[in-house]
Amino acid sequence: MRGSLRTSCLVAAALLVPLSASANEGLLVMQENPAEWVMPTGNYANHRYSKLAQINTGNAGQLQVAWTFSTGVLRGHEGGPLIIGDTMYVHAPFPNTVYALDLNNDATIKWKYEPKQDPDTIPVMCCDTVNRGPAYGDGKIFLYQADTTLVALDANTGKVLWKAVNGDPKVGATGTSAPMVVKDKVIVGISGGEFGVRGHLTAYDINTGKQVWRGYSMGPDSDTLMDPKKTTHLGKAVGKDSGTNTWEGDQWKIGGGTTWGWYSYDPELDLIYYGSGNPSTWNPAQRPGDNRWSMAIWARNPDTGMTKWVYQMTPHDEWDYDGINEMILADIPVKGKTRKALVHFDRNGFGYTLDRETGELLVAEKFDPAVNWATHVDMETGRPQVVSQYSTDQNGEDVNSTGICPAALGSKDQQPAAFSPRTGLFYVPTNHVCMDYEPFRVSYTAGQPYVGATLSMYPAPGGKHMGNFIAWDASKGAIVWSNPELFSVWSGALATAGDVVFYGTLEGYLKAVDASTGRELYSFKTPSGIIGNVTTYMHRGQQYVAVLSGVGGWAGIGLAAGLTEPQAGLGAVGGYAALSNYTALGGQLTVFKLPD
């Protein structure tokens, strides 16, 4: 049945080829089929939710490993596989191998693609050589390589159809994010905020690879694709050149605001949503002003790139709280009224609920009680009320500001949360880590790190754990339940209609918990730490759950040796434990199922 549905999608897509909306409409249909997992985010709304219910709270405890697959690469494995029809697409970090596995034939390799890339790309990737996976659309697999080459592969053969280059690794621009196909375009971002790269979102034609538009995070209106009168910030027109007038001189040219997170799309409003990252450098004294539009949530038109609205969460960042985390689109009640909401768990520790049509701010509450750098977000101005003690800008250069929560890792990083329409709750992998942060003067050299702050990280006060996996009520802005985890939870969550929620841990456990209570139903230790996102699909009547292991990423590097104990003490216990005592490098896909 699944096969025939897919065939009909392909037929429909084929018939629509002359129209510009072919791939999009194909994906709009395909994302409704729970047997497949057609985009890294699960669906355009970024729910990471599956209607499959064969695995449920009653039987999840019986899960067992069905099969495994080594990627042949040992670095940090972020993202997860795609399942299109009877084929699974598995990717790896640098060198960014892609395998097409035949699910009808014991996952044998149908084709393998391994690009040749200059190893010079490796050291300009700030936080490991991760890749968050390819995208599918219009019979093509789109791989965004570390060296920023976007390549379109024939999904059936792996043959290269076209290539486009999105940035220059020589100035520190790299590719880590997963592309998203919208209509006849493939959307990609850029990494390199620690190298002074000016962030942008770029659309390429899915048939030719020709660049259609590029919207920068800062710069004149012609670069940011903003209309001074029509583009709004909290309901007010942004005015002329809002992307340069909160910077001194030409600093916006190396201003950061990179776009390496996830993208979502609302087909009714015809808007794509994403976040921009930290302004460069990490030393706030060197870049006075609000540094617009770093640290912002964006709504752009997918055809033209024009910005409908923007909201800056952390003006003039002083802590590296990138705004790139995913935007989850859900229609939920807020103050008694159903809203077309956008829910976002920011690095800065606030869980935001906005009206995704207008950009109106509805809710902004802390999703980790440890968050202390701001007391609250002013709902009129949208500005966080910064606590002077934790302001690395007010404390100044060469001063060590201590006890700031969260750490630069954020209360949550890119690892995407899940939303279950059944419970109405958001399931969020979080970090519970604080830091000392000392900014200092730094000079810019193209292609070299442009950081300008030193920091040390440690578990939040009173705890012996560095992470929590939480359920969040975005209508109220409140935690419903919270499971402590020894290390930061750096794995993307999955919610299912079986009311089971899945996530991985840095020690390597794949866990299944009850969506209502958080009660653990199943746990299995995979060969390496998990920073990948959990995926589910159905094949020949059986539901499978798949996850990539392969410790690494920022957390994997930083936690490998264990965090610094702020008050020098003896023995590494609890939260100060070294991740290297629990797991080692590896790159493996593990696939689970219920017993036959």
- From residue 437 to residue 476, the character string flagging contacts with other proteins as x (rule: CB under 8 A) and all else as - is -x-xxxx-x--xxxxxxxxxx-------------------
Q: Which residues ranging from 185 to 244 are in contact with other proteins (CB under 8 A)?
A: 194
- Least distance between other proteins and beta carbon 556 (Å): 5
CB nearer other proteins, residue 281 or residue 475: 281
581 part of the interface to other proteins, by CB under 8 A: no
- Least distance between other proteins and beta carbon 74 (Å): 5
Among 320, 346, 393, 499, which one carries the catalytic annotation?
320
CB nearer other proteins, residue 310 or residue 579: 579
Assigned token pair, 322 = 């990138």
- Least distance between other proteins and beta carbon 398 (Å): 8
Contact 359/235 with Cβ under 8 angstroms?
yes
Residue given tokens 């299995």 in the structure block = 524
156 part of the interface to other proteins, by CB under 8 A: no
128 part of the interface to other proteins, by CB under 8 A: yes
User: What DSSP state is assigned to residue 37?
Assistant: B
- Least distance between other proteins and beta carbon 322 (Å): 14
- Least distance between other proteins and beta carbon 577 (Å): 13
Which of 95, 196, 199, 351 lies at the binding interface for other proteins (CB under 8 A)? 95
CB nearer other proteins, residue 72 or residue 288: 72
Residue given tokens 């709270």 in the structure block = 57
**Is position 106 annotated as part of the catalytic site?**
no
Assigned token pair, 271 = 């808007």
Number of residues interacting with other proteins: please give it, by CB under 8 A: 53
DSSP bridge partners of 547:
590
CA dist., res. 141 & res. 48, Å (int)? 20
Contact 209/162 with Cβ under 8 angstroms?
yes
Element (H, E) at 557: helix 553-560
Q: Which residues ranging from 254 to 283 are in contact with other proteins (CB under 8 A)?
A: 282
CB nearer other proteins, residue 63 or residue 408: 408
By three-state DSSP, how is residue 404 classified? Answer: strand
Q: Which residues ranging from 328 to 367 are in contact with other proteins (CB under 8 A)?
A: none
CB nearer other proteins, residue 208 or residue 564: 564
- Least distance between other proteins and beta carbon 336 (Å): 47
Contact 326/297 with Cβ under 8 angstroms?
no
Which of 12, 16, 53, 74 lies at the binding interface for other proteins (CB under 8 A)? 74
By three-state DSSP, how is residue 509 classified? Answer: strand
- Least distance between other proteins and beta carbon 98 (Å): 17
- Least distance between other proteins and beta carbon 251 (Å): 17
Which of 94, 252, 274, 537 lies at the binding interface for other proteins (CB under 8 A)? 94
CB nearer other proteins, residue 26 or residue 553: 553
Q: With 0-12 CB in 10 A as exposed, 13-18 as middle and 19+ as buried, what is 556?
A: buried
Phi, psi torsion values for 484, nearest 5 degrees: -70, 145
CB nearer other proteins, residue 162 or residue 440: 440
Within 10 angstroms of residue 236's Cβ, the number of other Cβ atoms is: 7
Stretch that binds other proteins, among 35-43, 185-193, 263-271, 578-586 (CB under 8 A): 578-586
Contact 196/172 with Cβ under 8 angstroms?
yes
Report the half-sphere exposure of 53 (CA within 13 A, side-chain side). 7
Question: Under 8 Å CB-to-CB from 355, ≥6 apart: which residues?
Answer: 339, 340, 341, 342, 362
- Least distance between other proteins and beta carbon 121 (Å): 8
Stretch that binds other proteins, among 67-75, 83-91, 412-420, 426-434 (CB under 8 A): 67-75
- 155-179 in b/e form (b: 16+ CB < 10 A) is beebeebbebbbbbbebbbbbbbbb
CB nearer other proteins, residue 313 or residue 489: 489
Which of 34, 76, 167, 410 lies at the binding interface for other proteins (CB under 8 A)? 76
Which of 97, 129, 176, 353 lies at the binding interface for other proteins (CB under 8 A)? 129
Stretch that binds other proteins, among 71-79, 311-319, 466-474, 532-540 (CB under 8 A): 71-79
CB nearer other proteins, residue 204 or residue 450: 450
- Least distance between other proteins and beta carbon 94 (Å): 6
CA dist., res. 417 & res. 342, Å (int)? 13
Question: Under 8 Å CB-to-CB from 32, ≥6 apart: which residues?
Answer: none
Within 10 angstroms of residue 557's Cβ, the number of other Cβ atoms is: 15
Element (H, E) at 12: helix 2-15
Which one, of 362, 361, 360, 388, lies nearest residue 373 by Cα? 388
CB nearer other proteins, residue 3 or residue 72: 72
DSSP labels for 171-187? GT-B--SPPEEETTEEE
Q: What is the 3-state secondary structure (H, E, C) of 224-280?
A: HCCCCCCCEECCEECCCCCCCCCCCCCHHHHCECCCCCCCEEECCCCEEEEECCCEC
Contact 134/141 with Cβ under 8 angstroms?
yes
Torsion of Cα atoms, 443 then 448 then 450 then 453, to 10°? -100
Which one, of 210, 203, 110, lies nearest residue 154 by Cα? 110
DSSP labels for 416-429? PPEEETTTTEEEEE
Q: Which residues ranging from 104 to 123 are in contact with other proteins (CB under 8 A)?
A: 119-120, 122-123
CB nearer other proteins, residue 31 or residue 414: 414
Q: Which residues ranging from 478 to 497 are in contact with other proteins (CB under 8 A)?
A: none
- Least distance between other proteins and beta carbon 192 (Å): 13
DSSP strand pairing (542-549 vs 588-593): antiparallel
Contact 137/186 with Cβ under 8 angstroms?
yes
Which of 222, 400, 517, 581 lies at the binding interface for other proteins (CB under 8 A)? 400
- From residue 541 to residue 560, the character string flagging contacts with other proteins as x (rule: CB under 8 A) and all else as - is ----------xx-x-xxx-x
Residues within the interface to other proteins (CB under 8 A): 72-76, 94-95, 119-120, 122-124, 126-129, 194, 282, 400, 436, 438, 440-443, 445, 448-457, 551-552, 554, 556-558, 560-566, 568, 580, 584-585
Active site residues: 320
